[in-house]
Structure 1
Amino acid sequence: MQNQNKRDPSIDIAIVGIGLLYPGAKDLMTFWRNILEGRDFITETPSTHWSMADYHEKNTRREDKIHCTRGAFIPEIDFDPVEFGLPPRLLQSTDVVQLLSLHVAKEAIRDTVSLSHEKINRDRISVILGSSGPTQLATHMGAKIQKPVWLNVMKQNGIPENKAEEICETIFQQYNAWDEDIFPGYLNNIVAGRIANRFDFRGMNCTVDAACGSSLGAIHMAIQELILRKSDLVLAGGADASNMPASFFSFERTHALSIAGDCRPFSADGDGTVLGEGIGMITLRRLEDAERDSDKIYAVIKGVGCSSDGRSNSIYGPSSRGQSIAIRNAYEAAGYSLKEVELIEAHGTGTQAGDRVEFQGLIKAYGMLDSCKLKSDALNSGKLESSESKPCELKADELESDALKPGELNSDKYKYETDGLKPDDRQCCALGSVKSQIGHTKSAAGVAGVIKSALALHHNIFPPMIKVSRPHPDMEIEMSPFYLNTVSRPWIHQIGDPRKAGVSSFGFGGSNFHVAMEEYMGNGVKPEKIENFPTQLLLFSAPDIEGLRCEVDGVLFRLDLEPYTRLAMQSIAHFDHSAPKRLAILAPDAANFKATAGKAMELISKNPDKSLSVPDRFHYGTGENVARDIAFIFPGQGSQYINMGSDVSMAFPEARKVWDRSVDCQCFQGKKLHRVVFPVPAFEDNDKAARMAELIETRWAQPAIGAMSASLLKLLTLLGITPNYA
């Protein structure tokens, strides 16, 4: 357990605001719901980016062609340059990553209470973002200066000089004109500088280039600014807004892109990554300051670990040794062991070599820390100490090899005190990667994982990772403390102890970063929960049928102006159960609501004085709403099934807390009830059958049904529903 008394709490950092633009998501609510629903945003490259006819060819031996045509792309947004003080003429001279980063920064700032209320001196607000590689505009303008090359080639091939000059000039005019705004318009550091300029932030501004680890590098630097008290708020994150052909060419030549055109992290059929675009930003403050100024707190960052791979066989090849050092450093700073962490958002690119090395790095870090504890002055000494008060240093022979051999995970060298435990009892830490849904967003990849993990901690949900047919057999994951979480599951945890998560991000050149995070359990402000219901309930009431039609039409009109979920909540708030005409509609999305509402009003209009119900779609009531007796009937043995009640527990915290209280209960052979009801996901049919067989046993079935019934009863009580009979 974490020893809070021996760690300086002033170095805790709160995430107090979030802004983002990722494939399939323009806002935080959509991003989280996409994750929970397991939606896939990897598609064919749109014509707005590049033409397959120009660059694609199945024969990948050609240096000027690529085979992978799929990626993940950010959605179009409305962008008003005047809103950000940019004359429209500057758009052609400014890279898209700078423009879109202004939009995302605005959203993060709007989400930060202390900024919205001007509680912070702008001299002490900094902007530090990860951004790597050439921007799209830089590549574009770099091509323009190749005119001498074009001209020489044409003359060498017999084209008369005057004709060659004419052709070259035509090509030259295809590119943007050089002007005084082009240079700052394509520089990476201006991504941060333009934000600081527009919003008048006068602290430090810069960008960090650690390749695909850039955004976590930026977060690490931001935290240092806050700990050293040089800044009072830092806008941090990463930006990568261009899946241009140069990126595809570059990644393909390192054999990183998927031949199948998909990203399947840690899966047996994973064959590479796909490239994504994205921008993610978080606002960071010292926790004590955030609590004082009533900022809403998504999660707390307890420590960041970083390392370099040192000497290796390849400058772009990953090293489990280097990665394990970064992970170890993160938990030294956090003040607790990796063994307490129940969720790891991995770098998880989907390449077999990268995923295997990353998994080995986690195994090494877990093994190193397993028998160690922190000294009281660990933050100052930078060392771990074993339970026998002897230094627990990294041994050269433990770090020499980057490849664990099959069977080595079960050796004494990496033993986990798991003798006698079944695989699903041993595995206690979920492993996932959002790249399976939005691709590898490069400079913005790490912060996407931080945002996902912060929301998982805040909502107490294990988010799923999609596209795993079965874990890669070389990992021998069933012998480890880790498992691949492929379905959304309630995060059941001991009451009073914060849930803990970690996020990894690694970059070419051996740049390794790991963030240790935990659930915020203080007395400060927490953000509202983002609804994750599979469907929405909309309620309408009026004195007559025409009034009811106006209520429905009003929501239909606003569907394109406001989020569907918000309209649903507003309809419930305005519902009058005593009104003569009452309509309830169930619909998962706006399109479904339009269709259902239209059909409902059509049928109701034919006989407005008769109640009508279509199961799972709508119910219409008319006349006096007469109260009737209510009876509660609870299920008996035989009704149990795996993950029963998971949707209720994920949607309603009070229902989940019933399960949290069960964690302290004495269970059979030390196994917890929630591990039987919400087990580690299984991939093989016999494993799935074994989990169900265990739940059917009377010793588990009866307490499981009892806990499930208590969970539902708690929810009904909170809703104010009391039975006349039970």
Structure 2
Amino acid sequence: MDFEPIAVVGRGCVLPGALDPDTFWANIAAGRTSLSPAPAGRWRVPRRWVMGSVDDCADRTWTEVAGYVEGFESVFDPRGFAVGPQEISGLDPLFHWVLYGARQALAEAGRSGPLPRGGLVLGNLSYPTQTGAAFAEHVWLSEQRPELRDALLRGARRTRPDARNRFSSGLPAVFAARALGLGAGAWSLDAACASSLYAVKLACDRLHDGSADVMLAGAVSRPDPLYLHVGFCALSATSRTGRSRPLRQEADGLVHGEGAGFVALMRLADARAAGAPVFGVIRGAGLSNDGRGAGLVGPSGEGQVRAMRLAYEAAGVAPESVGLVECHATGTPVGDAVEARAAAEVFGAADDVPIGSVKANVGHLLASAGMAGLLKVLGALGAGVRPATPGAGRPLELLSGTPLRVLTEPEEWTGARRAAVSAFGFGGTNAHLVVDHPDVPGRAGVPRPPARRRAGAAAAQNRAPVAVVAIGARVGDGASAEDLRRAGLGGERRGPAP
């Protein structure tokens, strides 16, 4: 399978401890962690109302530690977009992060102004935002408890929050495309914690089929932080100690975080012809989904192996040629163990495979997790340094006897610089990227001839309508599309398939 190489020509981010990619890399290279207690006011309720213990955490959280973004308001300038500042001001900071990170990536790529053949794919979980929650509170309390509404809003704005914040799943991508003049369209996807790398793969697909010349791929995660604290404690996924220790025997759960990250992508041949900067080259990408397995939070090693092998098949390179693997590794004992076994299977023929996880630095950024990993890898490729994963402790016993080695100290990167990034999500969404330094030679003959690309672009602009001539479905214990229609439109109950 041929995968035309795709150049990363720009980067942008809003991350804990870093509001630009170079600062983020400097933090990684120095081994800094950006985890802290909740900033004042972020929970919108007194801390004592929601703090509990590990043994008594119903509708409570046992920790307030997370990777928080601070200082963004002082650097965000709502001017200079194709929409006015007044259209931007009432929107949740999630929208602002998308605008800021996407514009930063385009600026680094030297691509500004309207881009008729530019598009955006945005990973974005459908979690409630702070402003969306405030809007819901305002509507409900205005009808039911106006006196409580006034008490909650005392000291804050008394006007109704902007109703557009109800649409925090898909609207950020569409709004950003309009604000940035992206004529090739935009859309959001939710592949859980693999959303970032799904967005990269699907953006590459648009470049491959000729329907766009510049694509932004990214993800954003800025839900109401208290929702995450309480929710992950209810799942027993949160670290009891408030420490993020991926790939360690002492790991006792994840520490979540927030942030956004973006890359601007072009076909490698086009990027070089245009003189655009190239921070890395995507050689291959693999996606898979587990289907029925051990449950929502039970990862499947088989699905992870399949995604990794698909990436190397697309790239036409061997897994053992990789010199750094950025693991998904969240710090949950079960999840890290499954990933360690899967990686050991894929990279078993290698002599030495340094591995790490950026979650030790910034926490688990959910939809943005893979983008944080990709930005870390791009920094490592450029600097020629394999960074350490901070946090003292013993590596997982499962790694013993495998070529996988957790980096505890930074190392000079000798030899060809090729890296990989993994992201695995709830429900079995699996993604793996193979990324090279720009100087690493690729396979001869992979780039498509210009005539084929032009034909692809013309076809994309002049596609004939496609008719749906038949449908079929098997959902629950239904046996046909008609059964699905009766269940969905007529209310007939259809139980799970045996």
Instruction: Name the TM tier (shorter chain).
Output: 0.7 to 0.9
**1:16 maps to 2:16:** no
Give the Cα–Cα distance (whole angstroms) in 1 for the partners of residues 286 and 369 of structure 2.
17
Cα contact 2:82–2:181 (8 A) shared by 1: no
The corresponding residue for 1:520 is 438
Cα contact 1:22–1:278 (8 A) shared by 2: yes
Spell out the pairing of 1:345-424 with structure 2 (5 A cutoff).
345-367=326-348, 370=349
Give the Cα–Cα distance (whole angstroms) in 1 for the partners of residues 146 and 17 of structure 2.
44
SS in 1 for 2:371: helix
- Residue deviations 1:280-313, cap 9 Å, x none? 1000011010011011111110111111112112
The corresponding residue for 1:506 is 424
Amino acid at match of 1:107: Q
**1:270 maps to 2:245:** no
The corresponding residue for 1:467 is 391
SS in 2 for 1:329: helix
SS in 1 for 2:347: helix
SS in 2 for 1:279: strand
Give the Cα–Cα distance (whole angstroms) in 1 for the partners of residues 296 and 328 of structure 2.
18
Specify whether residues 286 and 96 from structure 1 end up closer, same or farther in structure 2 by C-alpha distance, changes over 3 A only.
same
Cα contact 1:243–1:277 (8 A) shared by 2: no
Cα contact 2:418–2:440 (8 A) shared by 1: no
If the length of structure 1 is used for normalisation, what is the TM-score?
0.57
The corresponding residue for 1:532 is none
Q: 5+ residue gaps in structure 1?
A: 1-6, 152-164, 371-415, 417-425, 524-726
Q: Of the candidates 151, 161, 167, which is equivalent to residue 147 of structure 2?
A: 167
Give the Cα–Cα distance (whole angstroms) in 2 for the partners of residues 309 and 176 of structure 1.
47
Q: 5+ residue gaps in structure 2?
A: 442-498
SS in 2 for 1:58: coil
**1:47 maps to 2:30:** no
Cα contact 1:133–1:211 (8 A) shared by 2: no
**Number of aligned pairs?**
434
The alpha carbon displacement at 1:168 in A equals 4.5
Give the Cα–Cα distance (whole angstroms) in 1 for the partners of residues 408 and 146 of structure 2.
59
Give the Cα–Cα distance (whole angstroms) in 1 for the partners of residues 89 and 14 of structure 2.
21
Amino acid at match of 1:109: L
Q: Of the candidates 94, 113, 121, which is equivalent to residue 128 of structure 1?
A: 121
Spell out the pairing of 1:210-609 with structure 2 (5 A cutoff).
210-242=191-223, 244-367=225-348, 370=349, 426=351, 428-473=352-397, 475=398, 477-493=399-415, 498-521=416-439
The corresponding residue for 1:105 is 102
- Residue deviations 1:259-283, cap 9 Å, x none? 1101001111111111111111000
Amino acid at match of 1:93: G
SS in 2 for 1:355: helix
Runs of 4+ in 1 over 4 A off after TM superposition: 85-92, 171-179
Cα contact 2:240–2:253 (8 A) shared by 1: yes
The corresponding residue for 2:132 is 138
Spell out the pairing of 1:661-700 with structure 2 (5 A cutoff).
none
- Residue deviations 1:537-568, cap 9 Å, x none? xxxxxxxxxxxxxxxxxxxxxxxxxxxxxxxx
Amino acid at match of 2:387: P
The alpha carbon displacement at 1:249 in A equals 1.4
Give the Cα–Cα distance (whole angstroms) in 1 for the partners of residues 139 and 264 of structure 2.
40
Give the Cα–Cα distance (whole angstroms) in 2 for the partners of residues 232 and 18 of structure 1.
17
The alpha carbon displacement at 1:132 in A equals 0.5
Q: Which has the higher contact order (CA 8 A, sep 6+)?
A: 2
Q: Which has the higher helix share?
A: 1
Give the Cα–Cα distance (whole angstroms) in 2 for the partners of residues 141 and 443 of structure 1.
23
Cα contact 1:215–1:445 (8 A) shared by 2: yes
- Residue deviations 1:229-264, cap 9 Å, x none? 111110111111345101111111111110110100
SS in 2 for 1:479: coil
Amino acid at match of 1:332: E
The alpha carbon displacement at 1:173 in A equals 5.6
Amino acid at match of 1:131: N
Give the Cα–Cα distance (whole angstroms) in 1 for the partners of residues 255 and 82 of structure 2.
35
The alpha carbon displacement at 1:166 in A equals 5.2
SS in 2 for 1:256: coil
Spell out the pairing of 1:631-710 with structure 2 (5 A cutoff).
none
CA RMSD, 1 decimal:
2.3
Amino acid at match of 1:47: A
Cα contact 1:267–1:471 (8 A) shared by 2: yes
Greater mean alpha carbon deviation, residues 84-93 or residues 478-487: 84-93
- Residue deviations 1:392-412, cap 9 Å, x none? xxxxxxxxxxxxxxxxxxxxx
SS in 1 for 2:13: strand
Amino acid at match of 2:52: E
The alpha carbon displacement at 1:139 in A equals 2.6
Amino acid at match of 1:294: G
Which has the higher Rg, Structure 1 or Structure 2? 1
Cα contact 2:203–2:215 (8 A) shared by 1: yes
SS in 1 for 2:66: strand
Amino acid at match of 1:167: E
Specify whether residues 88 and 226 from structure 1 end up closer, same or farther in structure 2 by C-alpha distance, changes over 3 A only.
closer
Specify whether residues 468 and 356 from structure 1 end up closer, same or farther in structure 2 by C-alpha distance, changes over 3 A only.
farther
Amino acid at match of 1:469: G
Give the Cα–Cα distance (whole angstroms) in 2 for the partners of residues 42 and 515 of structure 1.
27
The corresponding residue for 1:194 is 175
If the length of structure 2 is used for normalisation, what is the TM-score?
0.82
The alpha carbon displacement at 1:62 in A equals 3.7
